[in-house]
Structure 1
Amino acid sequence: MPASKRRLARVAPRAYSPAAVSTPATAAVPAPSRGFSASDLAIVGVVIVWGTNYTVVKEAMETLPPLAFMSLRFTLAALAMGALLLAVEGWKPLPRPVFLKLMGLGLVGNTLYQLCFILGLANTSVANSGMLTAVTPVLVATLGAVLGVERLTRPLVMGLALGVAGMLMVLGGRGASQHGASLLGDGLILGASLCWALYTVGIRSMGPEVSALRITAICMLTGAPGVVLAGVPELLRLEPAHLTAGAWAGVVYSALVPLVLAYFIWGRTVQKVGSSRAGLYNTGIPVVAALTAWGVRGERPSWMQVLGAGLVLSGVLLSRRR
């Protein structure tokens, strides 16, 4: 055989080597883009919605008990999300393993998260709960690296450190009070942070074979019953005649915008930019909450809060470097 043909014989098989073809696991988790994209802009919108929602919920819960408020908003949100899924994609059966995984994510990211957060907040101070949730992006990045969903790079680690430090400065600038704090409440808030981290990494691991809308809808529909049932006792004691129009508006808004719309956008963008980078944007939520409180309630931010906001933004920019 001529030398040229022998070279072709040796080279040709490599083009069809199994190692050169993407495996299902690799195709399920595409590498996220590092540049600032429309997905990043969408996450910024979600952060704004979730940050301003603190003020909306605070106003509504002046007349609505916490668990009753949570139960009402999740009932409305689950119905709206189910209707949206049927209208856009229709009902398509999923493989049993995929459905069970989504059901597990729904229980963790909706039922357990909401219960831990509400009950934790009831048993500890607001300052404590806010500072403890600062560990969420760290948990997201760590879990993603441990489970093989994300790669922990040096810029990402440095960005996470800056983001968490800035978030703590924003919260600490409001004056950390230990009044009403307890180990039980602090433990529940940490549990809520862990639940959200697991939910975020779980969404990322699903890959593109299931749409973001279907993921969000099934997770919410499977997680909502536990949340709704937990608020039934308070709902039975509720007197609707004593509720203001503002409280009902708060229920409708917090159900349809932060839960339905923002959850859908979050699920879709996490699949595109990665759970670690998306989790880092969570550090901007208390910044938005502080600015909203300044504009609506006249709570002027301190120099520490302004500096903290700068650190958060610096962390986001740093995390996108290669």
Structure 2
Amino acid sequence: MKIPKIDKTILVHLALFAVALIYGANYTIAKEVMPLYISPSATILMRVLGAAILFWILVGKKRLILSNKREKIILLLSAIFGVVVNQLLFFEGLARTTPINAALIMTTTPLLVLMVSAITGGEKFTFFKIIGISLGLLGAAMLIGSKTVSDSSLPFSFVFDFNLGDLLILLNAVSYAIYLVIAKPLLKKYSALSISKWMFTLALPFVLPFGFSDLGTTNFEQIPTEIYVGLGYIVLFTTFLTYLLNAWALKSVSSSVVGIYIYLQPVLATFIAVALDKDSLTPTKLIWAACIFLGVFLVSRK
């Protein structure tokens, strides 16, 4: 029996959906791992080191010959924004906020991708895109600066209460947006595997100072088996597989399309967190989430 070939476009979108699902689950799983058992910095070091080893095993010693100095600088910047800054801010932020808040704020990535692309001359602002960016950033700002409080006269209300974790997640989204834009030319020209291998290899010396001391003081004997499974998920799925799938997808679709799949993450993250009783969805969060989602819709419309 002949197996029908699946269209590459479908495969690309399936890969991007898988990335969204993996990341959606990661918000809850990573919160179980840290900071109670392993610090964010130690988790990042193990994540980057583990991914670098996996990519070296997969790719081997095959050389990556870049054409010029500019491409070498782009590769280094991709490692810094796509791995070092991105992961340091994400894990330090997630340790200080809730899974649902983190996932909702990450939804601003398509808006930030557009802003970075416009600054670098890749895209142009339109009326709807400006409105979309404004709405999305408003929603993110209110998530960062407010919390739900009880009020007998209203079904819900909020007060300003700055959350450092939420701000770090937003800055992480900025870093990831920069990576999506600057890495695209390299990923179109060279092997996604080779680029990913060198990104994590170049990132390792940068994350080593942050995580080495914490790793040395971690009591591994007292860590339960399920936490080791969670750590394995973070390294194998959230780091290795997602970077691999994203890098491959970027060769076939625009960085904005890849960014739009971030839209699914809060839905999946919310479902998983609520189902496992790890977080709750409040009316206030729904309102600011609606602002972000509407902003993303306006930015992505033709």
Q: TM-score range by the shorter chain?
A: 0.7 to 0.9
Could you tell me how far apart the structure 2 residues matched to 1:129 and 1:305 are? 11
The alpha-carbon distance between structure 1 residues 155 and 202, as it changes in their structure 2 partners (threshold 3 A), is same
Q: Is the 8 A contact 1:114 1:227 kept in 2?
A: no
Match of 2:55 among 78, 81, 92: 81
Give the equivalent residue in structure 2 for 1:49.
Answer: 22
Given the alignment of the two structures, is residue 235 of structure 1 paired with residue 215 of structure 2, yes or no?
yes
> What SS does the aligned partner of 1:273 have?
coil
The alpha-carbon distance between structure 1 residues 193 and 53, as it changes in their structure 2 partners (threshold 3 A), is same
Report deviation, 1:58: 1.4
Give the equivalent residue in structure 2 for 1:144.
Answer: 117
Could you tell me how far apart the structure 2 residues matched to 1:91 and 1:140 are? 30
Match of 1:246 among 226, 246, 269: 226
> What SS does the aligned partner of 1:276 have?
helix
Given the alignment of the two structures, is residue 258 of structure 1 paired with residue 238 of structure 2, yes or no?
yes
Report deviation, 1:57: 0.9
For the pair shown, which has the larger CA radius of gyration, 1 or 2? 1
Could you tell me the TM-score, scaled by structure 2's length?
A: 0.75
Match of 1:277 among 245, 257, 276: 257
Deviations 1:11-61 (A, max 9, x none): xxxxxxxxxxxxxxxxxxxxxxxxx75423322221111111111111222
260-269 or 209-218, which moves further after superposition? 209-218
Could you tell me how far apart the structure 2 residues matched to 1:113 and 1:95 are? 26
Could you tell me how far apart the structure 2 residues matched to 1:257 and 1:96 are? 33
Given the alignment of the two structures, is residue 181 of structure 1 paired with residue 163 of structure 2, yes or no?
yes
> What SS does the aligned partner of 1:256 have?
helix
Given the alignment of the two structures, is residue 118 of structure 1 paired with residue 91 of structure 2, yes or no?
yes
Give the equivalent residue in structure 1 for 2:4.
Answer: none
The alpha-carbon distance between structure 1 residues 190 and 307, as it changes in their structure 2 partners (threshold 3 A), is closer
For residues 156-171 of structure 1, the aligned pairs below 5 Å read: none
Could you tell me how far apart the structure 2 residues matched to 1:301 and 1:235 are? 34
Could you tell me how far apart the structure 2 residues matched to 1:173 and 1:40 are? 35
Q: Is the 8 A contact 1:110 1:227 kept in 2?
A: no
The alpha-carbon distance between structure 1 residues 266 and 162, as it changes in their structure 2 partners (threshold 3 A), is farther
Q: Is the 8 A contact 1:162 1:315 kept in 2?
A: yes
Could you tell me how far apart the structure 2 residues matched to 1:152 and 1:161 are? 12
Report deviation, 1:243: 1.1
Report deviation, 1:125: 4.4
Could you tell me how far apart the structure 1 residues matched to 2:280 and 2:94 are? 24
The alpha-carbon distance between structure 1 residues 310 and 125, as it changes in their structure 2 partners (threshold 3 A), is closer
Could you tell me how far apart the structure 2 residues matched to 1:312 and 1:85 are? 38
Overall identity of the aligned pairs, in % = 27
Deviations 1:222-254 (A, max 9, x none): 113322331111111112111111111111111
Match of 2:177 among 197, 200, 207: 197
Give the equivalent residue in structure 2 for 1:66.
Answer: 40
Q: Which amino acid aligns with 2:122?
A: V
Q: Which amino acid aligns with 1:268?
A: W
> What SS does the aligned partner of 1:63 have?
coil
Give the equivalent residue in structure 2 for 1:297.
Answer: 277
Could you tell me how far apart the structure 2 residues matched to 1:180 and 1:224 are? 32
Match of 2:65 among 93, 113, 119: 93
Q: Is the 8 A contact 1:47 1:282 kept in 2?
A: yes
Match of 2:76 among 103, 110, 121: 103
Q: Which amino acid aligns with 1:71?
A: L
Q: Which amino acid aligns with 1:199?
A: Y
Instruction: Show structure 2 runs of 5+ residues with no match.
Output: 1-8, 149-157
Q: Which amino acid aligns with 1:250?
A: G
The alpha-carbon distance between structure 1 residues 188 and 301, as it changes in their structure 2 partners (threshold 3 A), is closer
Give the equivalent residue in structure 1 for 2:154.
Answer: none
Could you tell me the TM-score, scaled by structure 1's length?
A: 0.71
Could you tell me how far apart the structure 1 residues matched to 2:273 and 2:196 are? 29
Paired residues in the alignment total 282
Q: Which amino acid aligns with 1:181?
A: N
Q: Is the 8 A contact 1:132 1:189 kept in 2?
A: yes
Report deviation, 1:268: 2.2
108-117 or 251-260, which moves further after superposition? 108-117
> What SS does the aligned partner of 1:290 have?
helix
